[in-house]
Amino acid sequence: MRQKKLFLLIFLCMGLLVTCVTNPLTGQNTMALVSNKELFAASFQQYSQFLSENKVITGTEDAKMVERIGVNIRRAAEKWLASEGKSSYLKDYKWEYRLVDSKEINAWCMPGGKIVVYTGILPLTKTEDGLATVMGHEVAHALLNHGQQRVSASLLQQIGMVGVAIAVSGQSKESQALLLTAYGVGSTLFGTLPFSRQHESEADHYGLILMATAGYNPEASVQFWQRMAAKGSGVPEFLSTHPSHKTRIQQLKKSIPVAKRKAAQLNRSR
Give the residue numbers annotated as catalytic, written as ranges: 138
Tell me how far apart the terminal alpha carbons of the chain are, to the nearest angstrom: 62
Q: Report the b/e string of 2-24 with b at 16+ CB within 10 A.
A: eeeeeeebeeeeeebeeeeeebb
The rounded distance, in Å, linking the Cα atoms of 100 and 78 is 26
Note whether 145 and 20 are within 8 A (CB): no
Note whether 128 and 69 are within 8 A (CB): yes
Of 144, 173, 136, 156, nearest in space to 255 by CA: 136
Q: Burial, 235: exposed, middle or buried (Cβ in 10 Å; 0-12, 13-18, 19+)?
A: exposed
Q: Report the b/e string of 236-263 with b at 16+ CB within 10 A.
A: ebeeeebbbbeebbebbeebbeebbebb
Note whether 76 and 210 are within 8 A (CB): yes
The rounded distance, in Å, linking the Cα atoms of 85 and 89 is 9
Note whether 26 and 57 are within 8 A (CB): no
Which residues have CB under 8 Å from 65's CB, separation 6+?
128, 131
Radius of gyration of the chain from its Cα atoms, rounded to whole angstroms: 21
The rounded distance, in Å, linking the Cα atoms of 183 and 71 is 44
